[in-house]
Structure 1
């Protein structure tokens, strides 16, 4: 899970936050508290519904299949758009060594290579993707832990610049910077999304979610603080590789920065590998229920690889990356805000599902103290999600709402193709009791007389 949270994005965030000044560190602290509330909420939800699909499953079980579909659609957009943001940051560190003149055409080519290498790894099967993830997670921690510890010894107060450099009010600056900072925590729900492939999900998913978020929080805040205090504020906003610049300032020369850049490159590939898996996993869970196109549920090979989901998501991430390089000036920040918005929507509904089950469905068997505690955490997670949407800005909200509404015709088409009209009733959460090992994949609810779509999916052992 840590491998999906920590990616190249965190290596680029200091530059994205620099226009707001050190007040963005306050925003980071606020976002960390919100992320912990979300992590606790997802941990509780995973114990209640230990099935693959994460936010999609929670929303569908609590509020019905249309809400579940919107969550799956929104999260899928987050996954491939997030990959576009990660690869843009990744290119910044690759260009420490090549294309130092930042020619746009070459940058696009490098980005496409960065997107398709993880896709190729995932297409070989979950085992290879998992092994690749472990290796890259270990390597990526080296520069982050170094900067979060040794880097703090070289902090200069003069490098921080004005506390609030944004020209906004303190509340406005914290809200806007917080929306960007939240990108660094996207992936905290990763363990719940792949719960169907996890052993003993009721026990392991909550632990991975909460402990993984705590580890990332410590590394993030201290590492970002060190970069702010070792790179002059005037240079930081224009830096494409802020951790590299910080290392060079600490040791002099370029060798330390080159080491950090190499680690950031490995980190980015690792994060892209994890998110490419998530790109296919959520649509796969929805497609099994007939709420995503049937092609997303087709599995290939002994490991059951969702080939279509991986390829389709990587194609969309590639198109987004190319478009961003040719249309947007501030590429990384623009894609980050869109990714955050489409991620926060499933977070919001997941927190709402937890509140619904606690206050309406699941009060039985919970002591008063436990009920109050869990309800308070879920309410904080819900409020934090709403606050994050506000901080994204009107333009991003409009874009996000537009891509979300694009899913409605898809949902209606799927309902018509299944010969169903109206909302199917949601199952009560208390009736969901997934076994400790993933069950065989059930056949989707698609009539066989539909021809290829009906025959495309069969139960998998």
Structure 2
């Protein structure tokens, strides 16, 4: 028998026994410290959310919104309110159920196994499809310096953007968190510079008309809002890796809200600053609005290189965070027997290696499709990923509503009214995101969701769950023979 508190070897003195017990305590403490150091603290958790939300789309967003006029600033404000409401909902759910998988765990807890599986499947699709969209935009910014125009060269660059973050993820959680913090800081320096300094260079004449489309302001508001909706994907990031967050019941909610507030402030300030520093006509036709803003403030052409470098850092940081999520979500479902068991396999460093490799391989195939397939592949990829993102958002908000209305621990008074209001805003936000994805993306995305049903049936069969014995012919007889 080894040394333990309850079974001390004979022949030892009291001093030796005390020393042995102290050694065991030190070993256990060291293990706990090592485990905690392998987890994400609050700064790393916030950086994960910010890094996943702020990808590469923000660098083109002001130009896209300018085409609809300054009404798009109102649209962005409304969308930001919806994203904050969703972050609050995720914070509440994460504090109540700090389990890995986030939206998967919430839907499973509220509505049962199949709903949980469908959320896991939908988010898994989102993660590896969406990473391809980020990689494609990343290649465009790299080519600001390299000018590699052939499809083969662009595919090679995209694969570099995908597999470097995959290797970082395979190296362990601590490296993932450190990389997220570094890339988040680097990407925010120039963005915040434009957002703050640009406010002092604004001119009222640059803002242009309230509605630039010639139609009704409500139609322009809705369309601009649909564009702005896409930039908040990733608000749920930290809930998916809840088991890798230090003190999850406390930090998930704080990281979710703080991360979205940081992004909302940066989005609003930078967009207003660019609207006010770049003339409306030039902005609506710009391919690099942040660079144009810097050049307009200080003259010259250095802004293009600075913002291209910033977008490169931002993109690789976003792919790093989404690569982590593409493995964490199916791992949580696999441990419950709702995904193939291989997704639960961990390396010596404690990371779900199969999910990382499989997800990156699938993303690589989507990249090949984008560069070798039909024209317009990028837009289709982006919109499909947007739709599959909405499913977990909607189910999570409904899970919070379900818990508020029927939960065992009732919430009463002012807090109940506040939580119901925030949850209702989050549900409407999810509906709006669905509308913004468009009918074609909804159709294709729904077909991809249906593909998951046979996978669910197969995993249930692997668990030996075929339904009630009296509904399966011959099963009772076979069990008796066994």
Normalising by structure 1, we get a TM-score of 0.85
Distance 1:215 1:312, change over 3 A: same
Q: Which moved more, 1:236-245 or 1:29-38?
A: 236-245
* Matched-pair contact (CA < 8 Å) for 1:283–1:297: yes
Q: Which residue of 1 aligns with 2:446?
A: 401
Q: Does 2:351 match 1:287?
A: no
Q: Which residue of 1 aligns with 2:424?
A: 379
Q: How does 1:216-295 map to 2 (within 5 A)?
A: 216-236=263-283, 239-295=286-342
Give the C-alpha shift of residue 374 in structure 1.
0.8
Structure 1 residue aligned with 2:394, among 339, 342, 348? Answer: 348
Give the C-alpha shift of residue 298 in structure 1.
0.7
Q: Provide the C-alpha distance between the structure 1 equivalents of 2:404 and 2:243, rounded to a whole number of angstroms.
A: 23
SS for the counterpart of 1:95 is helix
- 1:15-43 Cα distance to aligned partner (Å, 9 max, x none): 44344343322221111010011011011
SS for the counterpart of 1:188 is coil
Q: Provide the C-alpha distance between the structure 2 equivalents of 1:338 and 1:157, rounded to a whole number of angstroms.
A: 38
* Matched-pair contact (CA < 8 Å) for 1:296–1:306: yes
Structure 2 residue aligned with 1:325, among 348, 371, 374? Answer: 371
Q: Provide the C-alpha distance between the structure 2 equivalents of 1:105 and 1:157, rounded to a whole number of angstroms.
A: 46
Q: Which residue of 2 aligns with 1:296?
A: 343
* Matched-pair contact (CA < 8 Å) for 1:38–1:378: yes
Q: Does 2:66 match 1:40?
A: no
Q: Provide the C-alpha distance between the structure 1 equivalents of 2:142 and 2:202, rounded to a whole number of angstroms.
A: 26
Distance 1:325 1:12, change over 3 A: farther
Q: Which residue of 2 aligns with 1:208?
A: 255
Aligned-pair Cα RMSD in Å: 2.2
Q: Which residue of 1 aligns with 2:56?
A: 8
Q: Which residue of 1 aligns with 2:358?
A: 312
Q: Provide the C-alpha distance between the structure 2 equivalents of 1:237 and 1:329, rounded to a whole number of angstroms.
A: 23
Give the C-alpha shift of residue 213 in structure 1.
0.8
Distance 1:175 1:137, change over 3 A: same
Q: Which protein is bigger by CA-based radius of gyration?
A: 2
Give the C-alpha shift of residue 332 in structure 1.
5.0
* Matched-pair contact (CA < 8 Å) for 1:88–1:331: no
Q: Provide the C-alpha distance between the structure 2 equivalents of 1:99 and 1:315, rounded to a whole number of angstroms.
A: 26
- 1:319-343 Cα distance to aligned partner (Å, 9 max, x none): 2233223446555544332222111
Q: Which residue of 2 aligns with 1:431?
A: none
* Matched-pair contact (CA < 8 Å) for 1:31–1:182: yes
Stretches of structure 2 lacking an aligned partner (at least 5 in a row): 1-48, 469-482
Normalising by structure 2, we get a TM-score of 0.82
Q: Provide the C-alpha distance between the structure 2 equivalents of 1:160 and 1:327, rounded to a whole number of angstroms.
A: 39
Q: Which residue of 2 aligns with 1:20?
A: 68
Distance 1:368 1:83, change over 3 A: same
Q: How does 1:402-421 map to 2 (within 5 A)?
A: 402-421=447-466
Q: Which moved more, 1:226-235 or 1:253-262?
A: 226-235
Q: Which residue of 2 aligns with 1:67?
A: 115
Q: Does 2:202 match 1:155?
A: yes
* Matched-pair contact (CA < 8 Å) for 1:341–1:397: yes
Distance 1:360 1:315, change over 3 A: same
Q: Which residue of 2 aligns with 1:434?
A: none
Q: Provide the C-alpha distance between the structure 1 equivalents of 2:165 and 2:202, rounded to a whole number of angstroms.
A: 36
Q: Provide the C-alpha distance between the structure 1 equivalents of 2:347 and 2:249, rounded to a whole number of angstroms.
A: 28
* Matched-pair contact (CA < 8 Å) for 1:90–1:268: yes
Q: Provide the C-alpha distance between the structure 2 equivalents of 1:115 and 1:35, rounded to a whole number of angstroms.
A: 27
Q: Which residue of 1 aligns with 2:31?
A: none
Q: Provide the C-alpha distance between the structure 1 equivalents of 2:86 and 2:239, rounded to a whole number of angstroms.
A: 12
Distance 1:89 1:151, change over 3 A: farther
Distance 1:376 1:96, change over 3 A: same
Give the C-alpha shift of residue 276 in structure 1.
0.7
Q: Which residue of 2 aligns with 1:88?
A: 136
Distance 1:109 1:167, change over 3 A: farther
Stretches of structure 1 lacking an aligned partner (at least 5 in a row): 424-461
Q: Provide the C-alpha distance between the structure 2 equivalents of 1:167 and 1:83, rounded to a whole number of angstroms.
A: 36
* Matched-pair contact (CA < 8 Å) for 2:238–2:255: yes
Give the C-alpha shift of residue 108 in structure 1.
2.8
Q: Provide the C-alpha distance between the structure 2 equivalents of 1:252 and 1:370, rounded to a whole number of angstroms.
A: 52
Q: Which residue of 1 aligns with 2:126?
A: 78
Q: Provide the C-alpha distance between the structure 2 equivalents of 1:409 and 1:147, rounded to a whole number of angstroms.
A: 50
- 1:369-424 Cα distance to aligned partner (Å, 9 max, x none): 1112111211111122112211221112112212111211211222222221359x
- 1:205-235 Cα distance to aligned partner (Å, 9 max, x none): 1011111111110001111222333344445
